[in-house]
Structure 1
């Protein structure tokens, strides 16, 4: 599996249906582009409501939250490489730096600026 959630909190491997694996692969390859629920459902070959229900059941979070977390993973890598937050935001698919900052703080616990400024935060996330 190529997704960011290969293991559940209990440490067991996550088992996903083929439809959800296709959607996760699509997200992982297209995270920087606008990703609609309808597009993901079509990729999975399911109705929008069935897709949303099945995705949450199998992955444990909503498709939108998963897209945001994939974007944050890539943002962390770019920030560690010295790319300015304003460029990182557009590179990973957020509307602007403020949008990145809100989601980054929610997921990581610190702002992108604090993440870059704190060497222990950078090394802990590698």
Structure 2
């Protein structure tokens, strides 16, 4: 089972330039809200296509995948704190509990319930 508690597990491939760092900081602050590629590109002061290419090259994954990783990392913390999965889902920006479950399993290889059972 993989854990996303370390920043190194979020896919960061190397040193990011200032525009990409601004976008990452925006994601870290706003992950629970809808985060669009256009918003991230504007935050980085780049065109959408240039931003997407630079982000993938510097971080190692797509911006959307990074947002999902950040959301799952925060979901892990809330779940460990005893917050019900249905509440966690909306708190971290997923549409509903099944949306959380799909991304959680894709990211960590386990469901939220199995993750909690293994953590006990």
Report the TM-score when normalising by structure 1.
0.85
CA distance in 2, matches of 1:43, 1:86: 31
For the residues of structure 2 that align with 1:66 and 1:19, how far apart are their CA atoms?
A: 15
Deviations 1:46-86 (A, max 9, x none): 00000000000000000000000000000000000010000
**What SS does structure 2 have at the residue aligned with 1:118?**
helix
Query: What is the CA distance between 1:4 and its match in structure 2?
Result: 3.1
Give the structure, 1 or 2, with the largest relative contact order (CA under 8 Å, sep 6 or more). 2
- Any residues of structure 2 matched to 1:80-119 within 5 Å, and which? 80-119=80-119
Extract structure 1 runs of 4+ deviating beyond 4 A.
6-9
Given that 1:20 and 1:44 are in contact with CA atoms closer than 8 Å, whether structure 2 keeps it comes out as: yes
How much does 1:102 deviate?
0.2
> Structure 1 residues 105, 8: CA separation in 2 closer, same or farther (over 3 Å shift)?
closer
Unaligned runs of 5+ in 2: 1-5
Q: TM-score, normalised by structure 2?
A: 0.90
1:40 alignment counterpart: 40
> Equivalent of 2:7, from 4, 7, 16?
4
SS in 1 for 2:7: coil
Alpha-carbon offset, residue 5 of structure 1: 3.8
Aligned length: 115
In the alignment, the residues of structure 2 paired with residue 51 and residue 4 of structure 1 have an alpha-carbon distance, to the nearest angstrom, of 21
